[in-house]
């Protein structure tokens, strides 16, 4: 990013910007959460080396618009960034803070900013140095900036945008109370390419409580370990879903199922959890962590404490009681920890193996929906309903 004269970068100040204009760095407000050990302060020259490290990090290159000139992000680029930070504070158009941990004073951990759009609206942006990730620093930093925006700067609406697939950034926004608005096609320009993106908002009237996000906890029993799916499971998911038996009973699967379809499934699983609708576990071998199947628990978006269990298994795991034990684990967790009051399993009448799983896991048949289940060969089957006694 080439440095430009201050006058070329300073927009005409809006009422919001004029109210928030400060001299830099003297009047930059310090924001502190002592309990969490996080402090937000003005950027300073000593931050430059770690700013360079952050902007050279592969995830930063992938998900942010930090420049990537020949030779990579340089000290000169970081110096230009600090000049822009100073201009943003002087004009009130962009309020940027450096993030640090109280236990390591002066050590730059990342940046967070408010980009004032006028009329009480600002967009939030943030990024962490790779060595500072995984400690919830940015979640705390965003809460501090959120409260400053509403309670001190008088803003009315905050907006978050990110490239689709930037799950760490989305989780931070959800923890600060942002409400996910959805996916927008061609929302963002990233290095000359239009990309789909996500949008979330938070208003001054909202509760600021974290948005629902369902993370499946690890559940273990003997030879099984139920855990969240990861991208490394994609090949096993593809093998299971391309199996002719699976294709017959799960008609919604793509007919020529491949790795790309498996990766799309893993993204769908994350989306259901991120929107508070479903838990999905990978049923894994406790010895080598191979994916043996999946169990899902969904229906949490409704008004009642009831949910439905679904499952599928890899061909190599069939006939060993794996899925039955996995369903028992999820059932016990749903009833004892999640306080689900009613659990349902729906199975095609002709799927004897799946029906056996339901009964062996402690469910009883409660009804039939005639001809309600389409099958892979184009025919239809009755749908049998099982519930906990």
pLDDT at 18: 82
Q: Are residues 124 and 268 in the same domain?
A: no
User: Alpha helices of the chain — where are they, by DSSP H?
Assistant: 6-9, 15-20, 48-56, 58-63, 75-91, 137-151, 167-175, 234-242, 244-249, 259-274, 322-336, 352-360
Query: Do 158 and 233 belong to one domain?
Result: no
Q: Is residue 198 within 8 Å of residue 170, measured between CB atoms?
A: yes
What's residue 378's pLDDT?
95
User: Residue 296 forms beta bridges with which residues?
Assistant: 280, 310
Residue with tokens 């923890």: 175
Contact between 137 and 129 under an 8 Å Cβ cutoff? The reply is: no
- Enter the tokens of residue 110: 């990342």
The reported pLDDT for the residue numbered 27 is 95
* Domain end call among 203, 230, 258: 203
339-353 burial, b at 16+ Cβ within 10 Å, e below that, comes to ebeebbbbbbbebee
Q: What is the dihedral of CA 374, 375, 379, 385, to 10 degrees?
A: -60
Domain shared by 251 and 130, yes or no: no
Distance CA 164, CA 183 (A): 8
DSSP 204-216: TTS--PPPP--PP
pLDDT tier, 3 (very low <50, low <70, confident <90, very high otherwise): very low
Same domain assignment for residues 197 and 228? no
152 with 234, same domain: the answer is no
In a domain, 296, yes or no: yes
Has residue 2 got a pLDDT over 70? no
What is the pTM assigned to this prediction?
0.89
Is residue 211 in a domain? no
Residue at 125 is within a domain: yes
Domain identity same for 50 and 158? yes
Mean pLDDT of the region 237-262 = 96
Judgement on whether residues 324 and 176 belong to the same structural domain of the protein: no
Asked if residue 145 is part of any domain, the answer here is yes
Same domain, 31 and 65: yes
343 plus 247 within the same structural domain: yes
Per-residue pLDDT tens over the stretch 167-220:
999 999 999 999 999 999 999 998 889 999 999 999 999 999 999 999 999 999
Q: Is residue 20 within a helix (H) or strand (E), and if so which, with residue range?
A: helix 15-20
Phi and psi at 163, nearest 5°, equal: -60, 140
Section 307-332 average pLDDT: 97
Structure tokens at 67: 């420049």
Res. 11: pLDDT tops 90:
no
Host domain of residue 331: 219-387
CA 316 – CA 352 distance, rounded (Å): 18
pLDDT of 105 higher than 70: yes
Q: For residue 212, is it within any domain?
A: no
Q: Are residues 235 and 281 in the same domain?
A: yes
Is residue 301 in a domain?
Answer: yes
Clarify whether residues 276 and 189 are in a common domain: no
Among residues 203, 238, 264, which one ends one of the domains? 203
Q: What percent of the chain has pLDDT over 70?
A: 97
Please report whether residue 213 resides in a domain: no
Beta partners for residue 122, in sequence order = 116, 158
pLDDT band at 12 (very low <50, low <70, confident <90, very high): low
What average pLDDT does this structure show over 88-93? Answer: 96
User: 153, 171, 203 — which closes off a domain?
Assistant: 203
Mean pLDDT across the stretch 158-166? 97
Give the angle subtended at the CA of 227 by the CAs of 226 and 233, to the nearest 5°: 105
Domain with residue 267: its CATH number is: 3.40.630.30
What average pLDDT does the structure give for the chain?
Answer: 94
Domain count for the chain, please give it: 2
Per-residue pLDDT tens digits for 115-135 = 999 999 999 999 999 999 999
* Band (6; pLDDT cuts 50, 70, 90): very low
Residue 259 is assigned to a structural domain of this protein: yes
Whether the CB-CB separation of 277 and 300 falls below 8 Å is answered with: yes
Q: Distance between CA atoms of 173 and 180, rounded to whole angstroms?
A: 9
Does 137 lie in the same domain as 271?
A: no
Q: Which range among 15-29, 73-87, 149-163, 249-263 shows the weakest confidence by mean pLDDT?
A: 15-29
């Amino acid at each position: 990013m080439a440095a430009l004269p201050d006058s070329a970068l300073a927009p005409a100040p809006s009422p919001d910007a004029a109210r928030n204009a400060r001299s830099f760095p003297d009047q930059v407000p310090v924001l502190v959460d002592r309990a969490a050990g996080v402090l937000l302060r003005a950027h300073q020259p000593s931050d430059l080396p770690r700013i360079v490290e952050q902007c050279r990090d592969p995830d930063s290159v992938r998900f942010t618009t930090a420049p990537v000139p020949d030779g990579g992000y340089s000290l000169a680029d970081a110096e230009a960034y600090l000049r822009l930070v100073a201009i943003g504070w002087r004009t009130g158009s962009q309020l940027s803070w450096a993030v640090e941990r109280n236990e390591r004073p002066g050590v730059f951990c990342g940046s967070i900013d408010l980009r004032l759009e006028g009329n009480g609206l600002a967009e939030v942006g943030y990024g962490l140095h790779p060595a500072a990730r995984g400690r919830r620093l940015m979640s705390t930093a965003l809460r501090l900036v959120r409260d400053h925006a509403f309670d001190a700067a008088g803003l009315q609406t905050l907006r978050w945008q990110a490239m689709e697939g930037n799950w760490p950034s989305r989780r931070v926004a959800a923890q600060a109370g942002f409400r996910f608005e959805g996916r927008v096609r061609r929302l963002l320009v990233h290095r000359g390419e239009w990309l789909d993106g996500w949008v979330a908002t938070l208003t001054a009237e909202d509760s600021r409580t974290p948005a629902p996000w369902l993370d499946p906890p690890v559940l273990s029993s003997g030879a099984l370990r139920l855990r969240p799916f990861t991208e490394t499971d994609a090949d096993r998911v593809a093998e299971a879903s391309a199996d002719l038996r699976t294709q017959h009973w799960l008609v919604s699967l793509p007919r020529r199922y491949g790795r790309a379809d498996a990766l799309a499934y893993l993204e769908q699983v994350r989306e259901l959890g991120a929107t508070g609708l479903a838990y999905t576990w990978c049923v894994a071998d406790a010895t080598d962590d191979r994916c043996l199947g999946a169990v899902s628990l969904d229906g949490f978006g409704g008004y009642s404490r009831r949910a439905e269990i679904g499952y599928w298994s890899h061909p190599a795991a069939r006939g060993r009681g794996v899925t039955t034990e996995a369903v028992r684990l999820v059932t016990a967790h749903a009833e004892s920890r999640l306080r689900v009051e009613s659990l349902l399993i729906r199975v095609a009448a002709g799927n004897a193996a799946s029906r056996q799983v339901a009964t062996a896991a402690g469910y009883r048949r409660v009804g039939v929906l005639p001809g309600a289940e389409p099958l892979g060969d184009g025919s239809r089957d009755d749908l049998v309903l099982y519930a906990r006694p």
